[in-house]
């Protein structure tokens, strides 16, 4: 399953080079991830408040291909790459006018609120695995 | 008392217009406020963890005079304008090469961790009043 | 005319107090302003590239009423308050579950690319005045 | 040569999890890079304005080990990993109380102002190579 969501590049996302600052690609990866959870009926607030579980990142990477600019409508795509007992890894890519502007990977780990590593809550892991295995 | 601290404008602070984005002036106001607390031996972590008190903003304003640019060394000045039982109001201004680049006001209110308005902790209020009344 | 647009509060918008950082309200004001221009067929890229005109902010202010939190769907409303020959002033407010979470004002001035103050381009000013005078 | 610079984690850097948001580690990598250029007498403004050269990122990655928190004084270390004709790759790591909090890599490519890939300006490349080869 590839989850996609469109976003608009904002003035504040740009820098003096006239393009989106490299850190902001990660912000859009994360915005897409948040919409992905919503689409599955998952909720990071529920995870935190009811399960006492956070999903901090242990790895993040991005390769930049083509600059995104103010007012561009970009499409962020998310694919669940791997679900392990305590981690989930996402692949992201950003399409700008059909062209791949950037691609990256983000790996999250489940922890308690005081940062002890734990298993992903069962339903959460199950939903992610289902999303990974679903075609389309 | 006027508390001053120097900061360097970063690439990420700029936007496509080639200057610091207007929201980032508030970030430097806040960075100066944090250094001001440190200079007084006050600690927002202590306030939150020991007193259960937060200092959310109820008002923030800025007037922009001269654009700040990448690599500029700016000096942020803070003055305690008013300390009331539950609020503290700061005046800020930013100097860039001796010129006033911006000036603004930020008003903070004391609340519990679940956002009920409370009195500023006594020693905190006292330190702020002292800073307000100190010349130089 | 009141222009409204919905946005979703992101994880990255929040801070250690568990709520949206005060600077990010201004980011959403600006995102709404950008969508407002789009709705009128105006384009800040065109303004910059064809007219050589920028719209830097000379004043920005916000009053915070109720904290916005991660995953909240907020509605930002924009109203053109005043259009003068060289400036436009907007009023903004943010609704969160029908409640006013914040309200503010942003004043923009037209300048050349090297920051000399100029008149707002005619069609731009006309469109803004029309928006100001339109009911609904 | 390992170039190091200390920074203070700001309130605005944190998120609802109570720790520095993962994107902000890249901001501190970049702040350190900017100070590194300054230490060498290099200037990205000069590069842009006189040489017409930008240094956009083509790759960025970070591995997160230990969360950084509000008010932590972090030390960012930079090492020049590789200088090629058109690119420079940096390794970064962040120390927090002697502990490695994060480490990452950022690869930059030289381009003209309209994004054609070019050679790094000679003196710029020479200074970077010298920094790479200098012990201590």
pLDDT tens-digit series, residues B19-51: 999 999 999 999 999 999 999 999 999 999 999
Residues D92-106: what's their mean pLDDT? 97
CB nearest to A31's CB, from C10, C34, C38: C10
- C-alpha radius of gyration, chain A, whole number: 15
The pLDDT tens digits for B52-67 are 999 999 999 999 999 9
- B9: pLDDT confidence band, cut at 50, 70 and 90? very high
Angle at A19 between CA A15 and CA A25, to 5 degrees: 90
Residues 6 or more apart in contact with residue C7 via CB below 8 angstroms: C28, C31, C32, C73, C74, C75, C76
What's the CA gap between C87 and C108, in Å, rounded?
A: 5
Residue A3 has pLDDT above 70, yes or no: yes
Asked whether the beta carbons of residue A62 and residue D63 sit closer than 8 angstroms, the reply is: no
A30 within 8 A of A68, measured Cβ to Cβ: no
Q: Is pLDDT above 90 for A102?
A: yes
Closest alpha carbon within chain A to C13: A27
D89 DSSP assignment: E
What pLDDT band is residue B136 in, cutting at 50, 70 and 90?
low
State the DSSP string of B13-58: GB-TTSSB-HHHHHHHHHHHHHHHHHHTT--HHHHHHTS-EE--EE
Residues of chain C in contact with residue A45, where contact means CB-CB under 8 angstroms, are 69-71
Q: Which residues contact C19 (CB under 8 A, 6 or more apart)?
A: B56, C67, C68, C69, D16
* Distance (Å, whole) CA A61 – CA D100: 18
Tell me which of C14, C24, C31, C57 to substitute to probe the interface with B (most B C-beta atoms closer than 10 Å). C57
ipTM of the complex: 0.96
Using the Cβ of C2 and the Cβ atoms of chain A, whether some distance falls under 8 Å is answered with no
Instruction: Identify from B10, B11, B12, B15 which residue to disrupt to test chain A contact, counting A C-beta atoms within 10 A and taking the largest count.
Output: B15
Q: Which of D24, D56, D92 to mutate to test the interface with A (most CBs of A within 10 A)?
A: D56
> What is the pLDDT, as a whole number, of residue A136?
62
Task: Write out chain D residues lying below 8 Å of A58, CB-based.
Answer: 63-64
Considering only residues 63 to 102 of chain B, which have any Cβ-Cβ distance to chain C shorter than 8 Å?
63-64, 67
> What mean pLDDT comes out for the span D105-121?
97
User: Where residue D134 falls among pLDDT bands split at 50, 70, 90?
Assistant: confident
Residues from chain C that touch D14, judged by Cβ atoms under 8 A, are 15-16
What is the value of pTM for the model shown? 0.97
Do the Cβ atoms of C26 and B27 come within 8 Å?
A: no
Q: Are D9 and D76 in contact (CB under 8 A)?
A: no
Which residues on C lie below 8 Å from A70 (Cβ)? 44-45
Mean pLDDT of chain A: 96
Spatial contact of A79 and A128, defined as CB atoms under 8 Å apart: no
Residues of A in contact with D16 (CB under 8 A): 48
Question: Is residue A26 within 8 angstroms of chain B, CB to CB?
Answer: no
């Amino acid at each position: 399953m590839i989850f996609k969501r469109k976003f608009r590049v904002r003035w504040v996302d740009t820098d003096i080079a006239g393009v989106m600052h490299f850190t902001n690609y990660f912000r859009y990866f994360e915005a897409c991830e948040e919409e992905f959870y919503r689409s599955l009926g998952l909720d990071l607030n529920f995870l935190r408040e009811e399960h006492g579980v956070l999903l901090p990142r242990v790895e993040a990477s991005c390769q930049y291909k083509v600059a995104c600019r103010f007012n561009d409508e970009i499409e962020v795509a998310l694919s669940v790459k791997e679900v392990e007992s305590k981690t989930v890894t996402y692949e992201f890519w950003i399409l700008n006018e059909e062209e791949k502007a950037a691609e990256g990977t983000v790996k999250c780990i489940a922890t308690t609120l005081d940062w002890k590593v734990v298993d992903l809550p069962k339903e959460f892991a199950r939903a992610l695995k289902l999303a990974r295995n679903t075609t389309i």
